[in-house]
Amino acid sequence: MSDQSAAVAAEAAQELAATKYTSHARTWSPGFIAKLILMAMVTAGCVYGVFMAIAAESWVIAGVSVLILAILLYVYFSKKAIPAKYLVPGMIFLFIFQIYVMGYTAFVAFTNQGGAHSADKEDAIVMLQQYNLKADPSGGSYTYSIFDDGGDYSVAIVNSDGDALVGSDGEAFTPTDNAEISNGKVTKLDGNDPVSPPNNATSWEIPLSEDDPSQGVLKIVTLNNAQVYQSSLSYDEATDTMTNTETGTVYHDNGEGSYESDSGETLSPGWWVMVGFDNFTTLFTDSTMSKGFLDSLWWTFAFAFLSVATTFFFGLILAIVFNHPHIRGQKIYRVLLILPYAFPGFMTPLIWKAMMNTDFGFINQTLFGGATIGWLDGPWIAKFSILFVNLWLGYPYMFLVTTGALQSLPGDILESAKVDGASTFQTFKAITLPLVFVACAPLLISSFAFNFNNFTLIYMLTGGGPNPVSNPNVPGQTDILISMVYKVSGLDGSGQQNYGLATALSIIIFVLVGLISIYSFRRTRSLEDMG
């Protein structure tokens, strides 16, 4: 080997060594260390979540957590998954906050979940027995002492054998050796003196035995004594029946998430069960529900369409007027016109509701000289009021959008139309409006979907009313589908909670909005051809 070749080989070896050193140095760069720390925190969080899920016997959540952790570790410590480093976090959040929520919503729609069926069967049995507690004279009473351990209260009693027992609200009594007893009462616990009962002490329920619920619970009734309470319902696991110990009535599982007697009496609460398509069929077979659904359906379509149409054309007219080159102070006018858009969406309906008050509202008292017009009292005038208030709220957005669309129109086309002798109206009809439609079509579709579910305006302005006098729990005259969902769910306090039926209705809304959006986006092709 020549000296020149040897020098080249030595130089290459030095470069290779330098590359290895540099690669090793980059491996432990501050960025890599930060990644290690971050992934260690994520791993610790996932492992903690897995153990918590296992403790709660949520095997699906535990399995998903392990899968997510494995994917993250592979992606961020592999040199081959560079694109996934940017995609995986978003995909995980999409799965958790969108796909999982949608899947769980669809699941609830096929159950009878609601206020009377919110737990599983085991929890429902426990709650039934707890809700039917009654004082048991034969169970006796106890002299108790209360001890405060930093806000955690404990109750101490002395049993018939002279032993001290300690329990707390929801926690059964257990023996303790750290108590001092005097005259059949615990005077010290862990060296602490007893305290006065707190205000909520009478609501405490302390099981006498953790293994034998039939012994009942202890409830504080006076400043010195606590009474034994027994449930009037006895559960027989062998026959899966509930028996009222006072009347002897036996309740059987009716297969619909409740215990029911032979006479048809049901116990509440029950538990949730799968009901198939019953919630969907109820919307069309129940006379009251189907009428309310159909009334809300046509008004929802009318409200969404008229809201988009009125706000768009009014905003477009204002945009054309204030886009004219001879208008002075355009910036000032535009700022003033978009002021309604700057107010919170929930506050403006409340202000308009006060202004439309029949007896004291500004509109009746000032604008109409003391008239008593019920703007929100009649079914049709209330609908008009909603559309008017929504016009006030929505036109600034359309004004901004159409102003941008008008300013982006090609000037040569408008000039050619003018040279060809087209009038202002002809130019607007044949050129301006089609081109603005093409530019704004996606925004109009999204605006339609938004107003299709514009719960805030309906709830804040009319509450869905006026309601039918005969049945105030059914959808009102101005309820759209989404506000009907709120009422059907029972969250407004107007009736019994029914999450399954409300969720089934929300799925119908989702399907309707999806179909309308797909159809509308396809129709935009014809607008592009027209443009």
Domain locations in the chain as residue ranges: 24-108, 133-231, 284-530
Distance CA 66, CA 88 (A): 15
Nearest residue to 434 via CA among 513, 530, 498, 518: 530
Distance CA 199, CA 195 (A): 12
Q: Does domain 133-231 have CATH number 2.40.430.10?
A: yes
- 262: Cβ contacts below 8 Å, ≥ 6 apart: 250
For residues 48, 53, 59, 61, the Cα torsion angle rounded to the nearest 10 degrees is -80
pLDDT, residue 27, reads 62
**Which residues of 254-380 form beta strands (DSSP E)?**
259-260
Using an 8 Å Cβ cutoff, are 259 and 128 in contact? yes
Where do we find the tokens 């034998």?
Answer: 212
**Which residues of 33-162 form beta strands (DSSP E)?**
133-135, 141-143, 145-149, 152-158
Q: What value, to the nearest 5°, has the Cα angle with vertex 8 and ends 2 and 9?
A: 90
315: helix, coil or strand? helix
54-to-104, 123, 256 alpha-carbon distances in Å: 20, 19, 29
354-to-359, 384, 459, 489, 494 alpha-carbon distances in Å: 10, 16, 14, 28, 23
Using an 8 Å Cβ cutoff, are 348 and 396 in contact? no
Distance CA 16, CA 14 (A): 5
- The structure tokens listed for 520 are 């509308």
- The structure tokens listed for 3 are 């000296």
For residues 409, 337, 483, 519, the Cα torsion angle rounded to the nearest 10 degrees is -10
192-to-152, 179, 186, 198 alpha-carbon distances in Å: 13, 9, 11, 17
- The structure tokens listed for 265 are 């009496």
pLDDT by residue for the chain (531 residues), tens only, comes to 556 665 555 565 555 554 544 444 446 778 788 888 888 998 998 899 889 988 887 888 889 889 988 998 888 888 887 888 888 888 888 888 888 888 999 999 999 998 888 888 988 988 898 888 888 777 678 889 999 887 789 999 998 888 999 999 988 999 998 899 988 899 999 888 999 888 888 889 999 888 777 788 999 988 888 899 988 898 888 999 999 988 899 999 999 999 999 999 999 889 999 999 999 998 888 888 888 899 999 999 999 999 999 999 999 999 888 887 777 777 787 777 777 877 777 888 999 999 999 999 999 999 998 889 999 998 999 999 999 999 999 999 999 899 888 888 887 777 787 787 778 788 888 888 888 888 888 889 889 999 999 999 999 999 888 876 555 557 888 999 999 999 888 877 766 788 999 999 999 999 998 898 888 877 766 655 554
Distance CA 91, CA 114 (A): 32
| pTM exceeding 0.95 | no
For domain 284-530, give the fold: MetI-like fold (1.10.3720)
pLDDT, residue 8, reads 53
